Amino acid sequence: MQTSARRATDNSKAVAAFIAKKAEIDAMLARLTALSEDHFNVDVETLNWGHVGDLEHYASLLKRITDAAFREGEHAE
């Protein structure tokens, strides 16, 4: 049988891991936001359909994440 102190220790490790992973995600989101503000490093004068394809790919990956996070799309209940 586990003691409450043991459960608290186990929970604190989970909380620490959660906070660390959240910080990792926050850093990735900040980098993506900065890249987006810079038009994904694409000069609008030289923009082509390949750049559109790149953004379509990025958007599809992000949609998978947002669908899972918000229980939408294939993750809808």
- The DSSP secondary structure of 1-49, one letter per residue, reads ---HHHHHHHHHHHHHHHHHHHHHHHHHHHHHHHHHHTGGG--TTT--H
| pLDDT for the residue 7 | 62
- d(CA 26, CA 55) in angstroms, rounded, equals 20
| pLDDT for the residue 38 | 96
In this structure, the answer to whether residues 2 and 32 fall within a common structural domain is yes
For 58, the domain range is 43-77
| Domains: count for the chain | 2
In this structure, the answer to whether residues 26 and 51 fall within a common structural domain is no
In this structure, the answer to whether residues 2 and 31 fall within a common structural domain is yes
Give pTM, 2 decimals.
Answer: 0.78
In this structure, the answer to whether residues 32 and 63 fall within a common structural domain is no
In terms of Cα–Cα distance, which of 59, 67, 63, 69 is closest to 22?
69
In this structure, the answer to whether residues 75 and 47 fall within a common structural domain is yes
Total number of residues shown for the chain: 77
| pLDDT for the residue 5 | 59
**What is the full per-residue pLDDT of the chain (77 aa) written as tens digits?**
556 656 656 799 999 999 999 999 999 999 999 999 999 999 999 999 999 999 999 999 999 999 999 999 989 98
In this structure, the answer to whether residues 12 and 33 fall within a common structural domain is yes
- d(CA 38, CA 33) in angstroms, rounded, equals 9
